[in-house]
């Protein structure tokens, strides 16, 4: 388990909104639900993505954009279009209605050679684990056509063109794949400034240490133990980790444990604070509570009560 896999596991297309539509100019689709992440890609044609409060971005065939909520955005044929906006939120497409087969409120003129075909997937993002990924992303990011996501886009295009059993499950998994490919390409783009944890994963020593911390967060880690498992000296581990990640190994581990604990406190309502503490590597619930308050600014019981409200 690497850091990216751990962070993205709470951002899944299961239960997501999915839509595909073919529109002819003029058009104006307003995505009003403010989903945590919305992926937008054009199979054919082009248009403009207009996020609230940001300049418009051109979307051409094969390009992919990801819009981070809670702000809304529009997809229009031209900036300043005369088209009346069509609201596309929770009523546009839901898994219960068959996903791509039911596109409520969307224009769908068949056989128009000059039309634009748009695919959108809105991802729910649950809990504090997902928040760490969202915090690393801008409101709008784009990846141009010609990258590793192109084969996935071809599969999406083929799947939405048929009506077959299990279609929603296939679309969910393809959307997950599309999101991972798009984020990988964006983080690794030339001249980019990826988050420290992403860049550090490429280092043979620190990357290995991060994988260990994410695979076994409850283990009794010390800097010496990490150094031994990765084949370097303790001083090398401490220095290299701090330089690449921006904080010492055990500080990173504590923050990650508290992120895991925050989600456990909400997801497992029947679990006691002591049980959550043991799950993330603390034998002493008082020590866990102290660490949680130091990192999160609130004790575990107060955090759970606030989340319930």
pLDDT tens-digit readout, 106-133: 444 444 556 788 888 878 777 888 888 8
pLDDT at 13: 56
Distance, CA of 201 to CA of 97 (rounded, Å): 40
Sheet holding 140-143, edge to edge: 17-23, 116-123, 37-44, 64-68, 140-143
Residues, the chain: 309
Nearest to 67 by CA among 32, 93, 101: 32
Distance, CA of 178 to CA of 267 (rounded, Å): 27
Q: Which residues contact 204 (CB under 8 A, 6 or more apart)?
A: none
Cβ(110)–Cβ(21) below 8 Å: no
Q: Please tell me whether the peptide bond between 26 and the residue prior to it is cis, using omega within 30 degrees of 0.
A: yes
- What is the pTM for the complete model shown? 0.83
Residue with tokens 């997801």, as numbered in its chain? 267
pLDDT at 287: 95
pLDDT at 49: 95
Tens of pLDDT along the chain (309 residues) come to 688 888 887 676 544 555 666 777 888 888 877 888 888 888 888 999 999 889 999 999 999 999 998 888 999 999 988 888 877 754 444 444 333 333 433 444 444 556 788 888 878 777 888 888 899 999 999 999 888 888 888 888 787 777 778 877 787 788 888 889 999 999 999 888 899 999 999 999 999 999 999 999 999 999 999 999 999 999 999 999 999 999 999 999 999 999 999 999 998 877 899 999 999 999 999 999 999 999 999 999 999 988 877
The dihedral over CA atoms of 227, 229, 231, 234, expressed in degrees to the nearest 10, equals: 10
Helix/strand/coil percentages in the chain, nearest 5: 45, 20, 40
pLDDT at 173: 84
Judged by DSSP in three states, 306 sits in: helix
Distance, CA of 210 to CA of 198 (rounded, Å): 10
Judged by DSSP in three states, 203 sits in: coil
H-helix or E-strand spanning residue 171? helix 167-187
Characterize the bridge pairing of strands 28-31 and 73-76.
antiparallel
H-helix or E-strand spanning residue 228? helix 223-230
Distance, CA of 306 to CA of 127 (rounded, Å): 13
């Amino acid at each position: 388990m690497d850091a990216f896999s751990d962070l993205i596991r709470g951002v899944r297309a299961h239960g997501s909104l999915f839509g595909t539509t073919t529109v002819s100019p003029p058009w104006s689709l307003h995505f009003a639900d403010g989903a945590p992440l919305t992926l937008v890609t054009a199979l054919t044609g082009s248009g403009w993505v207009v996020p609230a409060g940001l300049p418009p971005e051109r979307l051409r065939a094969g390009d992919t954009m990801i819009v981070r909520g809670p702000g809304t955005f529009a997809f229009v044929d031209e900036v300043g279009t005369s088209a009346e906006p069509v609201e596309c939120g929770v009523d546009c497409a839901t898994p219960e209605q068959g996903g791509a087969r039911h596109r409520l409120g969307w224009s769908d003129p068949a056989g128009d050679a000059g039309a634009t075909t748009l695919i959108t997937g809105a991802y729910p993002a649950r809990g504090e684990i997902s928040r760490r990924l969202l915090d690393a992303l801008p409101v709008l990011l784009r990846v141009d056509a010609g990258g590793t996501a192109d084969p996935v886009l071809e599969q999406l295009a083929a799947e939405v063109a048929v009506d077959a059993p299990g279609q929603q499950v296939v679309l969910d998994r393809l959307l997950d794949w599309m999101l991972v490919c798009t984020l990988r390409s964006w983080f690794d783009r030339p001249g980019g400034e990826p988050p420290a944890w992403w860049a550090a994963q490429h280092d043979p020593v620190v990357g290995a240490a991060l994988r260990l911390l994410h695979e076994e967060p409850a283990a009794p880690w010390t800097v010496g133990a990490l150094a031994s498992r990765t084949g370097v000296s303790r001083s090398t581990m401490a220095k290299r980790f701090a330089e690449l990640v921006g904080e010492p190994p055990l500080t990173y581990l504590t923050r990650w444990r508290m992120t895991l604990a925050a989600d456990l406190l909400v997801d497992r309502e029947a679990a006691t604070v002591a049980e959550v503490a043991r799950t993330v590597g603390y034998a002493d619930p008082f020590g866990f509570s102290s660490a949680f308050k130091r990192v999160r600014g609130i004790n575990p019981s107060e955090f759970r009560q606030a989340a319930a409200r």
